[in-house]
Structure 1
Amino acid sequence: MAKRLHIPIRFKVLITLLAVITVVVSLITFNMAKLFHADKEASIRDLTSVIAANTAEEARSLLSGYREKLQVFGRIMFDGKLPSDQKVRLLAGLFEESGDFVAVTFYEKGKNPFTLYDANALGSAGLSKADVQRYRLEHPIPMDRLRREKVFVENSTLAEKLPTLTMVILQGDPETGRETIAEAVVRLDSLLRLARRSVVFDTYLVDSRGILLARADRNQVGMRTPVDWTPDLTNLKYQPSMVTTLEYSLGGEEKIGGFGRVEFGELLVGVEIPKTAAYLTARDLLTNLIYSSILMVMVAAFLSFIWADRITHPVELLSKASRVVAQGKFDVHVQPTSRDEIGELAESFNQMTHELKSREDALSEAQNKLIQSEKMAAFGQLGAGIAHEVKNPLAGILGYAQISLRKMDQENPLHKNLLVIEKETKRCKTIIDNLLRFARQEKVALDPVDPNTVVEDAVAIVEHQLNMNKVKLEKDLALDLPRIKGNSNQLQQVLMNLFINGQQSMEGKPGSVKVSTRLLASGQIELRVSDTGPGMDEEIRAKIFEPFFTTKPSGKGTGLGLSVSYGIIKDHQGEISVESELGKGTTFFITIPVHESRVG
């Protein structure tokens, strides 16, 4: 019996999807190319007409705006009721606001012309007022055309750096028969931007004399190039329709051109594109379609493979993850790949491993806390034992030293040595007392106390010491605080320790220590002590409450002050924490529960 060929289901799905996608993409590509070839030339002709019409309308709107500004100039200039000095001020102000105007000249029969110039614009292009006047003398205004059209526009560029057009309008007073002329030299920047807007079509404007007025090639505009490449330019200006599309040959190259009348000063807009560009566009489109089809097939193959893999792969992942969990590694995670039954199974598996991991972490944390608690308890018992064994001999040494000092003359050489013995014995006694407090061997009664009173008493004791060291002690105490259950002396000891630590951290430099109290929303009293000292880094903050840890020089600190303070606050069922950054000072936060017998 012949062995049947085994094809995995993922490959069956992949082959089917690829076949369907390939057929669909091929049909779409063929039909799009066929439709484009059938309609490409008509589309290009229509597009040139639309662009020509839109460009003509925008040019007319722009030039009409220039004409309106020039009419305002003329009305002011030839207003007989305005004083001469007021006319000059108005004309100068209006000229300054008209940023595109380079020069404005007014003509009236029997009177000398009056001209306003932008000397900076002319100077930057290497021109002067005389150059503008010389151009007008060499190119007189065609009065017949001006009387017929009421407006005349021409390319009057004198320097390539400053392409300009000249607009002339005729104004008359029907009552007096007075005839005046206003002429403006205007920058061509706006029309040049209009001509450069399309990167596919060659757009240009032609003035009434057949000279190029605007085109993407700025040099041709600056040279006032005659437009001799368009067919029958004169008839195009006076054609009945606003837009005409023509096909013509230019330098052996076939062109499709759209021409539109601007309806302003006998100007004409031309938009042209080589016919070969239309065929190139078709070939480019076909090439792009082929590349897009290949890319789509490749993407489809990739997506089909992923889809097939999503059907069979999740169960394999779950099986591997289960084997990992069996080895005691609970941080494994299976990413659900679907929202079906397999996806729900993966989510349930992840929830199970998360709960196992959480329980393992909680158990490990509890074990670490238990070990730390046992270590601290053992240290406390050891410290208490040592303290009791050492305290009595120290008391005897201190007593004998003090008796000897009373009986000994200060001039005796041994007097100084006895003083050292007394001082160091007292220091050892202080360390022993701190050890006893840390070991919680000394139990004190807790009574209702006013937190503000505790702060005030602690401030009164150390304020003078801080002031002597150029440290200002500030208070910000909330009013009407409830009482707390505590021991005033121990709480004062904690605060005084924090005050003095803050002062010592500044190492004799001026600064401040601030203590504040407030009632928290949780029903606890917060005592906050902050200083402007140098602050601490993260490594020091982590060890700040450990016994015998100190940053002070040898002999100036025991390292038990904050440890004892920590134990005192814990005895008060409170919490103490610290926030500090290098260069930003240090702040200690103490929270103690409110005395329960307080009545709201």
Structure 2
Amino acid sequence: MKPFGIIGRKLLLWFVLVAIVPLTVVGLRSLNLARQAVMRETFLHMEAVAGYKQDQVENWLLERSADLNLLASDPRIRNRNPGDLERQQEMQAWLRIWRENTVGFDRVEVVNSEGRVELAVGSPQLIHPDGSAASPAEWAQAATNAGISRFSPVEYHPELGTWMEIALPVASAMGQPAGWVVGRVTLSRSLDPMLLDSTGLGRTGQTYLVDARQIMLTRSRFMDHPEPGTHRMHSAAIDSALAGREGSGIYTGWEGEPVLGAWRYLPAANWALIGEMSQAEALAEVGELQRNWLVISAVTLVAAFIVVAVITRSLSHPILRLADAARRISRGDLGALTGIRRSDEIGTLAQSFDQMAAALAVSRQYLERSYQDLIAAERRLVQSEKLAAIGELVASVVHELRNPLSSIKMNLKMLARKLPAEGTVSESLSIAQDQVLRLERMLTQILDYAKPVALNPVPSDLRDLLRQALESQGELVESAGVQVEWDVPDGLPPVTVDQELMGQALINLVRNAVQAMAPSGGKLRLSARVADSRELVLEIADTGPGISEAQRERMFEPFYTTRLVGTGLGLPNARKAVELHRGRLEVAGREGDGTTARIIIPLGNGHA
């Protein structure tokens, strides 16, 4: 049977509508809410990280500016005399000590207003690729004009990495510009450790600095990234930060992958600080939740298929059995039952169906019996009408025959008294008298068969009637050498019959059975039983020569006989008597295998 019939498909559709669709809607809604919540929390986290890194970088810039401010305001710097060599040597030593005690500067220079270096301590002066020495130049002049510290553009050196200089103007004791103090810092030693700290940034997160030229200033935490100061970077976050805005969002990172990031602008150095994390990592928990939801949905769908298949089989199988039983009943097989044993509504329906089928079977049996009774009654009616017509004719003929036959019989008796007891004439006379008696019996049987019968039914024991019939034929049984087998139990239920008529029918059947086995003998079996609590069955069976097919077709015809002696009215009279009691007379047997006469009388039969 298919796992899904029409009922199964409808159940599956309803299950999908009632369970799967809401589960899908709720799941997608939950995933969307979870995604929004994770993104909101990630944005807050990245903004916090960017803000923290911004504070660190700005504090670092302020500290370096403050250190140079202390140096620029020192009276020894302000009142220096380049022509006093001894004084210059003392200041050189003092400046060296100051640099060593100050964090972050690789080289410190004191530059006069003409741009010439008067004092310098720390690492050697850097030489540009074109052979020129690095000097404050124009950007430092801006510090003098503004009176505040200024930061040089970040440069890249193959040995130092990224570096920049901070310049602060120096005023003389008279308040006139007297040059600058310039401090060189290496970002790879100072800012890189701050920004490479990936605490709270997962596997893909990082923070970095970009200047106004969109050149990355600090090292990436990933080994495959180019060296800082050597390449430009572009993203929506960098553009927004360099435009002086701060915020957070999803954008395409410099590697072309979507990222969640936050950005800040550092106005003091005109830098952008970017903190970002791969979107895939940020939403990893949502992805895991989505995979779990897909697994749950798939399991639910598979479970739905299994449940629907089981329910469909539970519902469809008995329905199909009911339909099959209904088709068999429609073809006439009223014994077709569903065989369903369940305690639910389908079981109740199947039980009612089986009860209906059983009731139909009983009704059909009753109708068949009624039909047979009707056919038998019709046959009896036709037979009665025929017999009534024949009876009038036969009665007239028998009456006309009996008168001369009586005269012949009386004259034969008179002759018998006058003739001697012995001699040929006396023997012939005796034969004539026997034939006259035989003619009288034949006329009596013909008259009995043709005339209507008025029944006198009384409750009777067929066991007694069968025994009386057997005893009436005792002399014939003994002379034929027949053994009798009696299998009639005590306690048979009584039947209402005309004892004389039924007794004569039994006598005819016993006589026929005994005569069939004469003179070689055989076994006569008399039995009785109750069938289906509705009928009493008597059987008279012999072991004689049996009957042929041609004899079976004509055995109930009046005057048909296979013996030289007899009228051929024994079986017709017996069947007439049985059918008058609403019973049946059946004769079975095969040639060479004996014959069985079976009388079937309904219990509580009454009479026709």
Q: Normalising by the residue count of structure 2, what TM-score does the alignment of the two structures yield?
A: 0.36
Which one has a bigger Cα radius of gyration? 2
Q: Normalising by the residue count of structure 1, what TM-score does the alignment of the two structures yield?
A: 0.36
